Structure 1
Amino acid sequence: MAAPDLETGFFASNRRRSDDIYEFVTTIIRKASCDPLQENIYCYEFAEENAIKYDTIPFRYEWRFGDGGTATGDVVQHCFAGPGTYLVQLDVINLVTNEKSVNEKSETLVIRDIEQPYITSGDTAFVGQEIEFGAGKTNLPGWDISRYYWNFDDETIATGMNVKKTFIRPGEYSVQLIVSTKAGPGGVIREACVSKNILILNRP
């Protein structure tokens, strides 16, 4: 019987004509459950709600997103490069009078990455194809991470922030990234785990 973390457990044997119980320890760490990886959201939709009220008057809506990007329209979409604080501003131009209202709307948008270990990799690969896995986008403020541990769901592992892996059989694999810190006060080690499904296909 294995413990929930699958690292230790017990088994019984009567090879010596008695019911003996033994403890086992595995060198492969596989968590019973990991939080699924969440993708950070950098793309947003912006809308000028008053556009419907004045649909009989021709206006042009010009957006500035605080990262050098611009767009025109009463409803627009924009993707930011990453986390940060962005000042989103809207200028409204009356096309009849050519009057321009600068900063008709202004909003500060704060984008933060989700606090989690992060797996960077492709989602699909072929049997025998080398895949690069990276943990460089891990976002755990205040953590002094000492180990990046990878379990590839095929009884193989790797350690390091950036690793490479080749699967030899097709299937869907739940890859786990387990990060742990150096021992803190009282010998406490912090640990977090995420998982990402990778689909491995036979070559055509």
Structure 2
Amino acid sequence: MTKRLVMIGLLLSPIFLSGCVLDTILSDVVNHPPIAVIDASPMTGPAPLIVSLDAGFSHDEDGSIIEYHWQIGDPAAVEPLTRSACEYTFAQPGTYLVKLTVVDDDGASDSQQVAIVVTNAPPVAQAKASHESPYTGVAVTFSAEDSYDYDGTIVDYRWDFGDGGSAVGETVTHTYADGGYYVVTLVVTDDEGLKDSVKFGINVLPGHSNCTTPPGGSDGGSCDGASVAPLAVITGLPSCSGGEVGVPVTFDGTASRPAVGKIVTYQWDFGDGTTATGPVVTHTYTKSWTYMVKLTVVDEGGGVGTAIGSCPIGPGSCSQQ
């Protein structure tokens, strides 16, 4: 605390209007230092951890706080933080001390510190296929190249193709022998042993080895006397990666190919209970989830084709305070 000398004038002779006699007394007035209070949220979580730091509960009972100084125990913190409230992102796992120092209008100060615990973040699995609606007998390439681990390295990739087949590796190939709908699962493991998985559907169509007219040709075609199904293709699913709640996503089915004539119907199922029709549609999701999006097309010959893909939607981004 600090002391201030205050001069107090006392009126000793009230009868003199023009010549008052003043005495002087020196009195010690104590300045109380401010109180530093840190409100940090969250105080623990996986990397990258965004922590809101707020000194708003700090106070000075006999003056005002005029300076705020934050010290972040992170070597990556290079710029001084001097606002009463701010956000800081801890990119790597560890325990970090955050110290707040406040200074009042008389130069007195106080400090408080808290510990922020950042844990190892799990990897994020992301998968894609070279064909969303392949034919039987056609090799499909599956890639996990978009998977990542924010604070480490992915060391293992394991695939389950939904038909009893499996493979290990970042990029693999698989050939389906029978038509049908299959759920493909990718599991990734990071260098700390944490795992993540992702599932998506693949619609395998019967093969066309004996088609008299190529599928998608202007005259349609048939295979051994059987009707050829149109090929449904969804483009726009890559835009789901990093998609957010409340942000419209565009889905495009114009790359679909008819077997006879032209495609006359596009029917969409967004996986959240809502549907739409048309070759190009947009949809806004209200909850974060990985949705299975289904496109069903019908051509002039009455053939039906289906494509299914996954659309991961994350929570909306937060504005910095």
Q: TM-score, normalised by structure 2?
A: 0.31
Q: TM-score, normalised by structure 1?
A: 0.45
**Higher RCO structure (Cα 8 Å, ≥6 apart):** 1
Largest Rg, 1 or 2 = 2
